Amino acid sequence: MEIIKHQHFIIHKPFGYLSQFVVNIKKKKLLGELHNFPEGIMAIGRLDEDSEGLLLLTTDGKESERIRGKNIEKEYYAQVDGLITLDAIKKLELGVEIVTKKIKFITTPCKAFALNTHPPFAPRVKKIRDSRHGPTSWVSITLTQGKFRQVRKMTAAVGFPTLRLFRVRIGNIHLHNMQAGEVIEVEKLEV
């Protein structure tokens, strides 16, 4: 019996890339442009085109399913419109009503807190806005659930729409100081 040697990667997905390798939409940037990945590679979960940060890739479908599961925390830093309030953070923690695929549901309880300083991320290629439009703030949100654009929907539901979104942690794997577009191959994904 032949033992299959799977490959695993940690990447910092830049703004403007789809979390895919093949798509039928012209003029879209795909992950395959960042590195010469092996055949059969897949993203473990997704980040939408406008989101940035930590993305794990593997050729192992069982590992992908395990990491996407509800036992693994995913932490995000969201830059929001306005100065987020303690009341809004408490609502995020308890769960808010959002709509996915035309179905309303309450998000599961999560961890959330305001960040006292702006994270040291490089400026985005496409400018978000400037100070004339009012203040912004950053919030950390840690989930074990992951619906389509969930963090963006959650912050909007409490009155603070997301302007910029980074995934900074999946389980024990952190984005740390990885630069946008950086790819690291690892022996195994120790989440």
Q: Is CATH 3.30.70.1560 what the domain over 74-170 is classified as, yes or no?
A: yes
| More confident call, 161 vs 128 | 161
Q: Which tokens belong to 15?
A: 């703004």
Q: Do domains 8-69+174-186 and 74-170 have the same CATH topology?
A: yes
Structural domain spans, the chain: 8-69+174-186, 74-170
* 11, 183 contact by CB (below 8 A): yes
Active site residues: 48
What pTM was estimated for this model as a whole? 0.94
| More confident call, 2 vs 41 | 41
Q: Which CATH class is domain 8-69+174-186?
A: alpha beta
* pLDDT tens-digit map of 70-83: 899 999 999 999 99
Residue with tokens 């979390």: 19
Among candidate residues 141, 69, 87, 149, the one with its CA nearest the CA of residue 111: 141
* pLDDT tens-digit map of 9-19: 999 999 999 99
Long-range CB pairs of 18-24, under 8 A, 24+ apart, other chains included: 18/49, 19/43, 19/45, 19/46, 19/47, 19/48, 19/55, 20/46
pLDDT category of residue 22 using cuts at 50, 70 and 90: confident
Sign of the dihedral defined by the CA atoms of residues 15, 19, 21, 27, in that order:
negative
